[in-house]
Structure 1
């Protein structure tokens, strides 16, 4: 498990609708509610500053600093580990 936390930042549905196509490339794929996965998070002002790490179309590592109004954020969850499987649904095998 990684020592460096990642953060899952869940957005209000209205925020995703308002931001539209501009936010879609940054949303994490999956069954969960719309959220961003970032490596750094600063909620100290009117805007929440997030550092997102990803890859561009050529496969090069890129960092994107994204700032959103705090009112658009529903929940922030600290995620430790590789972050590949986040949450409980679908990760536990049922008892037989």
Structure 2
């Protein structure tokens, strides 16, 4: 039991709420000149370019975990090696990217 407490204390994913992760993704998108747009409709979401500007479109009607999944999928396609990303967000992308493969 004691080891579990220590393990969860060091796990950055344990205390990170979905709203905080969404905020970290928004900060990352801003650094990379990507616009995140949330709308309502019958769509899953994804990345697109309009007039040489990049957008990630999220469906507001979907649960936050599905919106985070879209963000993981789209940011996983990009080169993030030379960009500072909060460690908790980098770990979230890395661990969830494996589920998408």
| TM-score category, normalised to shorter length | under 0.3
**TM-score of the two chains, using structure 2 as the length reference:** 0.25
